[in-house]
Amino acid sequence: MAEKKLEGKKVAILVTNDFEQVEMTKPRQALDDAGAETYLISPAEGEVQGMNHDVKANRFKVDVPLDEANPADYDALLLPGGALNADELRINPKAQEFARHFDEEGKPIAVICHAPWLLVSANLVRGRTLTSWPTLKDDIRNAGGNWVDQEVVIDNNWVSSRGPKDIPAFNEKAIQLISEGKKARKEAAPAM
């Protein structure tokens, strides 16, 4: 039986239509297997459309509408990618506010592929080191972040990865970070 490192942890998964399906389903399964309770949160109502790159895939039931979601109810945030999903979320003020809460509270944020666009638009990346899909490199750097081309990067309460091929490493580090919780921020903070 798998170790339930995340027993009692609630993880918000924020997506809208046209998210990269594998970047939600594989991490969600890993979190569930580790004992977390995961909740699909979206500004879209009812269901959201997953994508396999540029081809429509499955639809998924939204557990909590973004308008009704209280970020204080969750221990961590997972942001799957997909260019259309990330582009729509980044301009949504409620999505920005939702992400800001996790960062301000030092709660873990797991972000992959195009999803860092939300963190850029929420003005959170200045001084942070992260990775993403390579085309976001300029956006992250222009927002004051340090973009690196690595499989997985942990910076304080954030874990980031480039895309689907990095999901196994991303899942491992996300589970580690979420299991450490808020204390990870203090332990990982760089010396001033």
Task: Provide, rounded to the nearest whole percent, the portion of the chain with pLDDT above 70.
Answer: 93
pLDDT of residue 78: 98
pLDDT of residue 2: 53
Catalytic residue among 41, 110, 112, 113: 113
Catalytic residue among 114, 128, 162, 185: 114
Residue 178, Cβ neighbours under 10 Å: how many?
26
Q: Is 118 a catalytic residue?
A: no
Q: Is 45 a catalytic residue?
A: no
pLDDT of residue 28: 98
pLDDT of residue 182: 66
Which residues of the chain are under the pLDDT cut of 50? Answer: 1, 184-192
pLDDT of residue 183: 54
Q: What is the CATH number of domain 10-188?
A: 3.40.50.880
Q: CA–CA distance from 96 to each of 2, 88, 89 (Å)?
A: 34, 11, 8
Q: Where are the domains of the chain?
A: 10-188
Chain segment 12-60, per-residue pLDDT in tens = 999 999 999 999 999 999 999 999 999 999 999 999 999 999 999 999 9
Global model pTM greater than 0.85: yes
Q: CA–CA distance from 138 to each of 38, 143, 159 (Å)?
A: 32, 8, 19
pLDDT of residue 3: 74
pLDDT of residue 187: 37
Q: How far apart are CA 50 and CA 25, in angstroms?
A: 10
